[in-house]
Amino acid sequence: MTMMTSNQIQEDVCAAARETAVLVDRSDLGMLKVTGETRLDLIHRMSTQAVNDLKSGQGRATVLTTDIGRIIDRLILYVTDESVYLLTGENNSDVIAHYLMRYVFFMDDFHLQDLSQETAVLAVYGPQAGAKLAAAGLSDVDIPLHHWRQVDVGGKAAFLHRADPVQGDGYFIICHLEDKTAVWQHLTGSGLLPVSEELFEYMRIESGLPRFGRELTGEYIPLEANLWGDVSFHKGCYIGQEVIARMESRGRIAKKLARLRPSAPVAAGQVITADGKKAGVITSAADGPGGPVALGYVKTAALNNALPLMVDDISLKSVKSDTADA
């Protein structure tokens, strides 16, 4: 019997991600449950997106920002008739819970519960993600981005959510932690190939999806992170609105997140230069079967003028992002 090498396995997994779909454990994402009559009103007045019109089965991404428009976290909201669930950045639910409760006033009916330790989040990514899930017995996979449906996965109750795409498409299957093994086994038994954290990171970077703690930090503004689709320019006031609205109205984004193809491996934190001057910084980097990939914030002028980008003596090619200006 011929044994497959580690490189061959990685190549097969990456090929599956690009051509069909793969399975990723993303249970480090936080989950908060909010109830009370003003649950959506408070989030609406605190974050970048209009969310107070959401109905059961719907969802939307929104960003919490500081008073100068810097990113605190990107939240994905899932709405039911009686509650709203908030998917936070990795291991960040406690921080967000404390932050939100600071803004609950005496007239608010807003109650929060952290469910992160009892919730499993599994992700399916790839161009055939929906078809693979349908083949695994999940119904009604054709739903809009961030909307959700209750589903049965191998006899276990779970929730199917349309997620940000990686390698073409994406879904979350969210279930109780005690059901995680059974749901995982059903999905892998249906032909979905599991992906390690290392390979998921490679796929994420290659697809241009920003991640909390990497591209989504207090150093950047949502528009710089290409999160245009998470910002409403027609709603009322929210924390950080003045700065974000001014950037949009003037059309002046000094830097923006870019997908990059280095000629050799680079590392997060390395400085990007153009014409010998600092032009940005690498925020995420990985190496894999398709060669080195990276994400970084680069001065808009350098990108618009197609200036040669470098990290030391390594050249960088800017690649149009799948998620840019989404």
What's the whole-number mean pLDDT along residues 48-71?
97
Residue 173 lies in a domain: yes
Q: Would you say 110 and 86 are in contact if contact means Cβ atoms under 8 Å apart?
A: no
Question: Is 283 part of a structural domain of the chain?
Answer: no
When divided into structural domains, the chain yields a total of 1
Residues 288-305: tens digit of each pLDDT: 888 999 999 999 999 999
The better pLDDT of the pair 297, 140 is held by 297
What SS3 state is found at 318? strand
Q: Which residue matches tokens 């038994």?
A: 189
Contact between 62 and 240 under an 8 Å Cβ cutoff? The reply is: no
Per-residue pLDDT at 207 exceeds 90: yes
- Kindly report, residue by residue over 24-36, the tens digit of the pLDDT: 999 999 999 999 9
Please give the order of strands across the beta sheet that includes 83-90. Answer: 59-65, 71-79, 83-90, 29-35, 111-114
Q: Is 18 exposed, middle or buried (0-12, 13-18, 19+ CB in 10 A)?
A: middle
- Answer yes or no: is 214 within a domain: no
247 located within any domain: no
- Cα distance between the two ends of the chain: 47
Report the pLDDT value the prediction gives residue 3, as an integer from 0 to 100.
35
Q: What is the pLDDT of residue 12?
A: 67
Residue 155 confidence class, pLDDT cut points 50, 70, 90: very high
User: What is the mean predicted confidence (pLDDT) over 169-182?
Assistant: 98
What pLDDT score was predicted for residue 7?
57
- In percent, the amount of the chain with pLDDT more than 90 equals 86
Q: What is the CATH number of the domain that holds 203?
A: 3.30.1360.120
| Residue range(s) defining the domain that contains residue 198 | 6-27+119-207
Residue 294 lies in a domain: no
Using alpha carbons only, what angle is made at residue 207 by residues 209 and 316, rounded to the nearest 5 degrees?
A: 100
Average pLDDT, the chain: 92
pLDDT-based confidence at residue 251 (cuts at 50, 70, 90): confident
For residue 145, being part of any structural domain is answered with yes
Question: What is the model's pLDDT at position 4?
Answer: 31
In a domain, 148, yes or no: yes
Helix (H, G, I), strand (E, B) or coil at 22: strand
Give the Cα separation of 110 and 38 in Å (integer). 6
Beta bridge partners of 71: 65
**Residue 321, pLDDT score:** 52
- The dihedral sign for the CA sequence 198, 204, 206, 208: negative
Q: 53 in a domain, yes or no?
A: no
Neighbours of 262 (CB within 10 A): 23
